[in-house]
Structure 1
Amino acid sequence: MGKKRLALITMDDLTNELLFNQLTSLFGDSVSIERCTTEDNVCKYIDAPVALVSSVSLKVDVENKFRFGDKTKVIMSRRSIGKQGLKNLLEIPMGSRGILFIGHKDVSRDTVQLIKQLGITHFELQPEQPAQSDFDADLIITAGKANQLKDVNLPVVDIGILRLDITTIVEVLSALYLLDSKASLVSARYEREVIELCQEVSHALGQATIFSKELEVAINTNRDGMVMMDEAGRIVVSNQAAEELFKLPRERMVGRLFTRENGFPWNWEDLHTVDNSILRLHDYKLVVNASPVETPLGKIGTMLTFRDVTEIQRLEEMVRRDLAAKGHVARFTFQDIIGESTELKSVVKVAQRIAKTEATILIYGESGVGKELFAQAIHSASLRRNGPFVAVNFSALSESLMESELFGYDEGAFTGAKKGGKPGLFEMAHGGTIFLDEIGDASPALQTRLLRVLQEKQVMRVGATKIIPVDVRVIAATNKDLPGLIKKGTFRQDLYYRLNVLPLNIPPLRERRGDVLFLMQHFFVKRGHQLNVIPSALQLLDRYDWPGNTRELQNVVEYLYCTSSADEIIGEQNLPRHFLSLSKTNTLGSKNSGDLFKQLSENAPMEDYTLLLKTIKDSIAQGKSAGRRSLFRSIPGMTEARLRVRLKELQDVGLVVLMSGRRGTRITERGLALLDSMS
């Protein structure tokens, strides 16, 4: 069997010689290689079974200068950079500007693309231009053509002629039907080379990539002016703050020497060793620092930081004024919590104890019970009393506005964003307390961000990548059933446990009726009046359930103050209209038990009412809910519709109070008295 035949087509003799040697070391004398170059000026006919072209970039040249037999398979090779070539590329200083010279613009362009695909991007690299002789760059990179660059007055980095990669070798062997016989040789040789290359280059390349990314993040997110220079004083990278500070566009900074001749206020030599030096520039007073920039390959340059002292002072003053203007201070203490009931005093005692801790507090209470009053009192009694108290209500703003209010935003984060950005409420509460009111209304997306803040003690502004540490004590409040919301999937369980470290339950006004008249007297005295109310009106006020709690009571006081004279005795007719309807209902209270039995028995058998009252009483005594569904399950033979009617009738005569939500039904003192009279 004769030798296999292969035609090798390259751009020049030097490349042809290297690839010929590479192929010969694999094929030995089993393949006859016909060598051709595109530099030949004659058209040549090739009838070998396989023709290998050294680069796809030579396709047009090959089609113009060669003709192939009908059975010739043309393979466009893929090339790789050797181990030493990669090392040479990695040692090029960061931020350098290079031009790749090979002698063929298309081959040069494809090689630049190959280098970038390898992840080597720490310097700028452009392909050569046709007939280029003047190179505007810091250095020239070439692939085996260093002898043609002897007259160029620039550093030359030779990465060597690119070799055929393993995929091309396998494709050639397959086309020549030699893959089975040469597979083990090819595998052993290239596996060994790849392993050695990975071991030596991977670490350096990975470290350089990590460093490059970290540097880019640090530069682009820092508000101070920052300029990095190489060892020669040439600017490698700068951020927008520096460009604004020196009033120079980026193209007039990067790649240029930091000198007065190039528009900078100082020479590089004057700054490369400064440490917290104060310099003046225009209207700015700057603190300047120079720090070495290190990589695994050693020192590659210096980072200059320019911090505007005037701006820092101005921002601090503005923040202080803004905090005062927005009322980010606690106005109330525990002395402002008014009441004499045992229930309220017990809650105040617990609140005073937990105020001394740093743990997160979750305040439960209906609307109007004074949750923010308690939050401010806790802050005023805490070790953070001299810090800000910042309150935010989650039911007051949309999700998008709430996010920017809580976490702040960077300049340009969205249309209408303030120049320079805006600090969020968490930042404003630094060193103090943030009060998250109506936390149950927070959207799922906000809950996720809040959880991260509570876990990490860090915030990130909208549109920013910089992490800002915050030192805040969190007090949250809600009038919703958070465990119920967790079951519905609308509130995060992990956030609930982060908030519910120290729970504090504020009882509604109807559960501490002893405070009703005490509070009314207090509010009247604050206005300079005495509370003069006839007994029947007092009875109505005392029996009213106050669904709006203390806030509603204040409204009633305001109504009475505005509609009555200072010495007028307040009667039932002076109360707001909804108390008058309560008065009509309570006229039944003057009736004895017999009258009440007669009143109810006109609607249904008395057994229905007594059984219902006894079931409600027993459920409450056992700590169970006395809701409508629970009662329906506990009373056989009574339909839900009938149950609903009977409960309404009992409420109309003041024997029960129908509560909203999971709180169920409460039996009143009159209801208990009625049951006692029947026993």
Structure 2
Amino acid sequence: LPVLFVNDRPETARDCVDSLRDLGLDGVKWLPWNPLDPPPPPEYRIAVVAGEPDLVPPGMDEVIDIGVRILDFGSLAEILKRLGMGETDIGGYSRRYLAKIVNLARRLARSTEEARRLSGHLGSVIDSLRHGVLVYDEEGRVSVCNEELRDLLNLRPGSGSGTTLGSLIRNRELLGFLDCRCGEEERTFKLPEGTVVVRRFDLGEGGHTVAVFRSEGPEASRLGREYRRRGHVAKWTLEDIVGDSEAVRRAKRIALRLAATDLSILIHGESGTGKELFASAIHAASARSAGPFLAVDLGALSDDLVESELFGYEEGAFTGAKKGGKTGLFELADGGTLFLDEIGNVSPKVQTRLLRVLQEKEVMRVGGADIRRVDVRVIAATNEDLLAKTRKGEFREDLYFRLKMGWLRIPPLRERRQDIPRLVRRFLEQEGAGDVAVSPEVLAALESRDWPGNVRELRNTLTYMLAVREDREISAEDLPEPEYFEPQGSESEGFRSLPPEESGPGLRLGAEDRFILGALAELEAEGRAAGRETISALARARGISLGTGAARARLERLAALGLLVMGRGRRGSRLTAEGRRALPSVR
């Protein structure tokens, strides 16, 4: 049966005819034709066209328009029916069609397996590179993070890919460098893991960016890799400590000065304030930064386990001792820093051995007789009053003063409420949710709580609110119920709430906020400009610690709450109508 297949493009007409023949319609005498071809032979009286009947040459007895469609078995059956061949053996055509599909599926499977194998080979090649490789898209989603980079950044094996830059990179300066779409650039960064050189460049397609990391110094790189492989590295620097409050700035100043010495240090702070964060930052800023940093929670270990972990043991020292013995943490930390958390929990026996290590710089393994020299800086931490324990005979006084050669107090969160907005923003960035907004009401509620669990409790609460929110903003509806918090024996177990008639903004403000609102009213009445320097000077005159940076942060927060308008020059900041209504509750 001669049939004309018509299309406006000769190659398309030929491809369609080839497809029809592949599908089994090879019993038809097909002729691909387009309007630029000569008139078809006279025996061709039937034309098939796909949605363009106006292209069919004149003189056809029948025009079959199959429309624009995929040439599948349904199309094949319809063409057979329209050509009057519906009574033929459709099963034969279907078998040939299915055979084509099965053959195609096999070819696709082979191609997929080959692609998977090539992808595995490529992954092995990338992991074997001597430099760290990071690939991410415009939204910061990481698609490639090789093994060298995981070692360099002290990441868990297999982690990195599928996460976001904010959750992967802790150093804010490095994160800003990676986020910048500024073309090819190379810079050097000092991380807790060591100094690295990062080269960043954009790929031509897909909006992806590649960053290549390499360590400086071959020997330092080798030792650093070994420490990272064992997990013996500091994770944080002083730049990672968030806060503009005077309490935090003072703690950071003291930490930096102590880092320049080689004194043993006792850190005091409540649970969740970030004692290990400061210990890590001190190590990273010290001359020992290229050495190992090890941390151990003594409160989580039994007395016997503490001794074997700190000092190690020889083979056969006790039942269950490993063959060959075990190297203790003091030996592993040689040339670096050992952080002992919850130091107040150790027994008198362990206290005696600790004192000897601090005084003599020598350690003896459990069950051993050999003296081993160690060069280790000890940073200890506690949330207890160790001096009171020494007076009760529960802690050695000589060990206490030996540890306290350097002393650092970490302020609780209730003493630095003005840092909460910045902490919230940092935590959102680390969770890969930097574009999520937080309403002023939520920030005010967060600042109203005393946070007995400190920064750790704040972060856990924010993670909860991030999980239950319904849109791109965390609103007051997302705040946890009082039952979310453990009872603390205070008058309120959750966020402080007030009756509607008593919920003026002044009642939700901290002491520094209330001072600033009152100072603005006072300065305005005197006709004086109310800038951050003036407010800071007025605070000092009245015995209140409020630096210019902290004053600016409070002014910005109060402006976000609609209580004042920040101005420049002579006008300075001034109260809004809402701020004036808050003054009675402030005073």
Range of TM-score over shorter length:
0.3 to 0.5
Question: TM-score of the superposition, structure 2-length normalised?
Answer: 0.45
**Higher Rg:** 1
Higher normalized contact order (CA 8 Å, seq sep 6+, divided by chain length): 2
TM-score where L is the length of structure 1:
0.39
